[in-house]
C-alpha cells in the first residue's frame, strides 16, 4: 500500500497553426488515454519529435506499474505506446537521452524490497530494447526524482529516502503534499552501465522532500528540496551543493513565509535559477501561493528573487527551461481556490533580471500537474504533465505552444 500511496503523492484533437515572426508553428493539446492511470514524468526533445515518459499504474493492490514511452511526432501523434512492465512495479519519474541515442529511465521499484521501494534505473537502446537495469537503496524506501549526466560520463540519480516507520502524515492530507514517512535526500552516482560508484543519504530531523536537481560543471550536483513544516504552514526551500564525491559544499535555505522549491537549472552563464511558490499564511492579504523565481551565482549567493501572480489566484511554477536566446520560461498552474479542482496552465517568460517578457494562461477544465517544459527545435514550447477530467483515469498531457506561449483557442 505504501507504494501505491507514493505513486499518488509523487505523480504531478485537431491541429491549429499560428504564424509567429513569419514562421508557421503548429500548436496542439494532446491527452494520451492508455486505459489506466498514467502519470507523466518528463518530455525529451529528439531528432524526429519528442519522447514522453511516464508510469502506467495497472493495479494499486497488489502494486503493478510499468514504464511508458511514447514516441511523439511533430503533430503530437504517436504510433503505439512502449511499456516496460514485468512482475511488480516499476516507475519512471525522469529520463534522459544517452550519447548513443538510447534512454535512461529513473524511478522506483518494489521488486527487491519487502513491502517498500528501491531507486530504479533502466537503460534501453536506440530501438527501445532493454540493455540493463540497476536497483539502489537500503533497508528504508528510496525513489528517484531526477537523473543527470555528470561531466565525466557517469550519472547522478537524485531522489528521496523515506523511513516508513516514522510517519509524518497521510500523503493526501490537505495542506501536506509530502510522503508518508520522514524523508531525506538520497543521491547515487553510477557508471554508464549502472554500476554504483557511491550512494549517500542526507538524513536529519527535518522532513525533506527532493523535487529536482541539476549537474554542475565541477562534476557535482545541485539538489533542490522542500522542507515540510507540517502540521504548521511553515515549509521552506533547501538547496544543496554537492561535490563529485557527494560531500556537501554549501547549502542555502529560504524560510520566509511558507516556501516550496520545485525546479532548478544551471544557466548557460553558470548561474542557478530556482522556481517554486510562496505564501504568507499569517497575512490574509498574502495567504495564497504566488509563483517564485530565485537567481543565485555559482557559489550560492542570491542575486535576486521575484514573485509572480496576485492574491486573487493560487499560482505555482513547477518546471523551467532556458531558451536559445538566453531567456527563461517557467510553466505552472493557476487555481482560483482549492475548492475548484480545475487548474489553468500558465507560462511565464523572463529575462536575466527577472523582468517578465510575456505570459500566457490556458483554461484546461481539469486538474493538471505540470512536470516539464522544453523548447521545441523550430520555436515554441512543449509542456508535459498529468491531467484528470471528472472520474476518468489520469492521462499524460502534452501542450504545444507558439513562441509566446499561445495555443489556438480551439485547442484549449
Residue owning grid cell 531528432: 47
3-state SS, residue 2: helix
pLDDT of 2 over the 80 cut = no
Kindly report the number of other CB atoms within 10 A of residue 338's CB atom. Answer: 10
pLDDT tier for residue 284 given thresholds of 50, 70 and 90: confident
At residue 113, the pLDDT reads: 56
Residue 149 lies in a domain: yes
249: enclosing H helix or E strand? strand 248-254
**What CATH number corresponds to the domain at position 202?**
2.120.10.30
In a domain, 279, yes or no: yes
Whether pLDDT at 412 is above 60? no
* Cα separation values, 167 from 39, 133, 207, 230, 252, Å: 25, 30, 10, 12, 26
Residue 16 lies in a domain: no
Angle at 291 between CA 325 and CA 363, to 5 degrees: 85
pLDDT tier at 17 (50, 70, 90 boundaries)? very low
- CA distance readout (Å), 55 to 34, 106, 205, 395: 10, 11, 31, 10
**What does the block give as the cell for 298?**
555559482
Residue 18: inside a domain, yes or no? no
Tell me which H or E stretch contains 4. Answer: helix 2-10
Residue 8's pLDDT is 39
266 within 8 A of 222, measured Cβ to Cβ: yes
| Domain-embedded: residue 409 | no
Domain count, the chain: 1
Tell me, what DSSP letter sits at residue 151?
Answer: T
Contacts (Cβ under 8 Å, ≥6 apart) of 23: 378, 379
In a domain? residue 19: no
**How would you class 7 by CB atoms within 10 Å of its CB: exposed for 0-12, middle for 13-18, buried for 19 or more?**
buried
- Lookup: cell for 367: 486538474
Q: Does residue 244 belong to any structural domain of this protein? A: yes
Q: How far is CA 232 from CA 228, 331, 393, in A?
A: 9, 28, 33
Contacts of 373 (CB under 8 A, 6+ apart): 319, 320, 321, 329, 330, 331, 347, 381, 382, 383, 384
In a domain? residue 21? no
Tally: H helices and E strands in the chain: 1, 28
Place 6 in a pLDDT band, splitting at 50, 70 and 90: very low
**What is the pLDDT averaged over residues 159-183?**
91
Residue range 303-359, pLDDT digits in tens: 999 999 877 899 999 999 999 999 999 999 999 887 777 899 999 999 999 999 999
What's the pTM? 0.92
Give the range of the structural domain holding residue 231, as residue numbers without chain letter: 2-11+27-404
Weakest-pLDDT range from 19-33, 120-134, 148-162, 288-302: 19-33
Amino acid at each position: 500500500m505504501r507504494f501505491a500511496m507514493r505513486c499518488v503523492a509523487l505523480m504531478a484533437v485537431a491541429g491549429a497553426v499560428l504564424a509567429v515572426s513569419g514562421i508557421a508553428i503548429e500548436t496542439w493539446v494532446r491527452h494520451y488515454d492508455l486505459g489506466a492511470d498514467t502519470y507523466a514524468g518528463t518530455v525529451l526533445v529528439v531528432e524526429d519529435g519528442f519522447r514522453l515518459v511516464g508510469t502506467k499504474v495497472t493495479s494499486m493492490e497488489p502494486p503493478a506499474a510499468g514504464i511508458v514511452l511514447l514516441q511523439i511526432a511533430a503533430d503530437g501523434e504517436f504510433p503505439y505506446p512502449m511499456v516496460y512492465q514485468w512482475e511488480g512495479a516499476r516507475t519512471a519519474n525522469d529520463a534522459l537521452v544517452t550519447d548513443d541515442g538510447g534512454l535512461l529511465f529513473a524511478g522506483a521499484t518494489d521488486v527487491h524490497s519487502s513491502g517498500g521501494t528501491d531507486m530504479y534505473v533502466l537503460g534501453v537502446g536506440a530501438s527501445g530494447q532493454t540493455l540493463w537495469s540497476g536497483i539502489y537503496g537500503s533497508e528504508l524506501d528510496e525513489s528517484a526524482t531526477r537523473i543527470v549526466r555528470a561531466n565525466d560520463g557517469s550519472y547522478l540519480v537524485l531522489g528521496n529516502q523515506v523511513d516508513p516507520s516514522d510517519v509524518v502524515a497521510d500523503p493526501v492530507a490537505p495542506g501536506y503534499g509530502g510522503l508518508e514517512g520522514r524523508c531525506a535526500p538520497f543521491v547515487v552516482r553510477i557508471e554508464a552501465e549502472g554500476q554504483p560508484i557511491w550512494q549517500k543519504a542526507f538524513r536529519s530531523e527535518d522532513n525533506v522532500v527532493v523535487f529536482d536537481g541539476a549537474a554542475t560543471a565541477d562534476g557535482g550536483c545541485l539538489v533542490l528540496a522542500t522542507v515540510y513544516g507540517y502540521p504548521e504552514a511553515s515549509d521552506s526551500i533547501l538547496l544543496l551543493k554537492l561535490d563529485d564525491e557527494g560531500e556537501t559544499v554549501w547549502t542555502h535555505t529560504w524560510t520566509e513565509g511558507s516556501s516550496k522549491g520545485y525546479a532548478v537549472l544551471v544557466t548557460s552563464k553558470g548561474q542557478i535559477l530556482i522556481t517554486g511558490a510562496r505564501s504568507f499564511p499569517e497575512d490574509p492579504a498574502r495567504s495564497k501561493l504566488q509563483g517564485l523565481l530565485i537567481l543565485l551565482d555559482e557559489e550560492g549567493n542570491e542575486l535576486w528573487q521575484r514573485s509572480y501572480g496576485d492574491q486573487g489566484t493560487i499560482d505555482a511554477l513547477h518546471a523551467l527551461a532556458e531558451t536559445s536566446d538566453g531567456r527563461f520560461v517557467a510553466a505552472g498552474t493557476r487555481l482560483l481556490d482549492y475548492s475548484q479542482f480545475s487548474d489553468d496552465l500558465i507560462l511565464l517568460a523572463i529575462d536575466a533580471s527577472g523582468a517578465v517578457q510575456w505570459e500566457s494562461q490556458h483554461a484546461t477544465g481539469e486538474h493538471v500537474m505540470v512536470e516539464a517544459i522544453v523548447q521545441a527545435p523550430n520555436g515554441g514550447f512543449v509542456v508535459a504533465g498529468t491531467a484528470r477530467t471528472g472520474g476518468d483515469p489520469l492521462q499524460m498531457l502534452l501542450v504545444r505552444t507558439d513562441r509566446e506561449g499561445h495555443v489556438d483557442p480551439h485547442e484549449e
